[in-house]
Amino acid sequence: MQSETNCPRCGSSHTVKNGKTRQGKQRYKCKICRRHFLPLLSYTYRACLKLYRDLIVPMTLRASGIRDIAQVLGISPNTVLTHLRRAGDQTPEPRVPSHIKDLEMDELWSFIGCKKQQCWLWLARNRCTGRIVAFVLGRRTDHSCQLLCHKLAACQVQNVFTDDWQSYSKCLDAATHRVGKSGTQGIERCNLNFRTHIKRLQRRTICFSRSPQMHEAVLKLYIHHLNSHPHF
């Protein structure tokens, strides 16, 4: 079991005392990698502990807002925002397979800042695997639909199921396009998961994104987690 005085960088136990901080806390130095550090239990700010930082993303994906997380964990809201942005930047976009038998496409309403600044989430879902293979954030316009189709350009799709929104008939091949609510039940259920697990997507909420970067970061994290855990 690793001791408190083991180096947090290399894990070495070859450490020596190295003076004290202004607050009187004992400081240590690693003889292997030369890092200066404090024992974990010496930190008074919880965000310095990995245990608390690791809870930020899971709480976000379970309908907790920024201030909710900050209050429960006893850390700063700015720390929560910074951690989510960093996690979003490190999360890759969904991988588009080379072949999909049945693809479902739909759009989900959301907004940034105020309800006048609408930001629709366009989704493409593989019916067989339940995975989100592509997504786009934008207005409910033909341009956003074209961006989504562009991400799927290298994929061979046998059937594409959508509702009767006009953009789909303009951007999709009529030979593979299937229109009807009966073909989009899977992705409609997926939309419900989004609204349930992400507080900023709920229809009646005081929690909302104030920047496009944060909005995209949270959605990318959720989609990545959803694809990694299909039964989430």
Instruction: Give me the pLDDT at residue 44, please.
Output: 62
Region 96-113: mean pLDDT is 96
Structure tokens at 157: 């799709």
By the 8 A CB rule, do 20 and 26 touch?
A: yes
By the 8 A CB rule, do 210 and 143 touch?
A: no
Q: Is the pLDDT of residue 49 over 80?
A: no
Region 68-92: mean pLDDT is 94
Q: Is the pLDDT of residue 1 over 70?
A: no
The mean predicted confidence, pLDDT, of the chain is: 92
Region 46-69: mean pLDDT is 90
For the chain, which residues make up each domain, given as ranges?
1-44, 99-211
Instruction: Give me the pLDDT at residue 23, please.
Output: 78
Region 140-147: mean pLDDT is 97
Q: Is the pLDDT of residue 217 over 60?
A: yes
Instruction: Give me the pLDDT at residue 21, please.
Output: 84
Region 5-17: mean pLDDT is 89
How do the residues of the chain divide into helix, strand and coil, expressed in percent and rounded to 5?
40, 25, 40
In percent, how much of the chain has pLDDT > 90? Answer: 77
Segment 176-215, tens digit of pLDDT? 999 998 999 999 999 999 999 999 998 888 888 999 999 9
* pTM of the model as a whole: 0.81
Question: Taking Cα atoms as reference points, which of 130, 140, 143 lies closest to residue 108?
Answer: 140
Let me know the angle formed at the C-alpha of 97 by 96 and 98, rounded to the nearest 5 degrees: 120
Please, what's the b/e burial string for 155-175 (b: 16 or more CB within 10 A of its CB; e: otherwise)? Answer: bebeebbbbeeebbeebbeee
Q: Domain 99-211 class?
A: alpha beta
Region 9-15: mean pLDDT is 89
The Cα 220–Cα 94 span in angstroms is 9
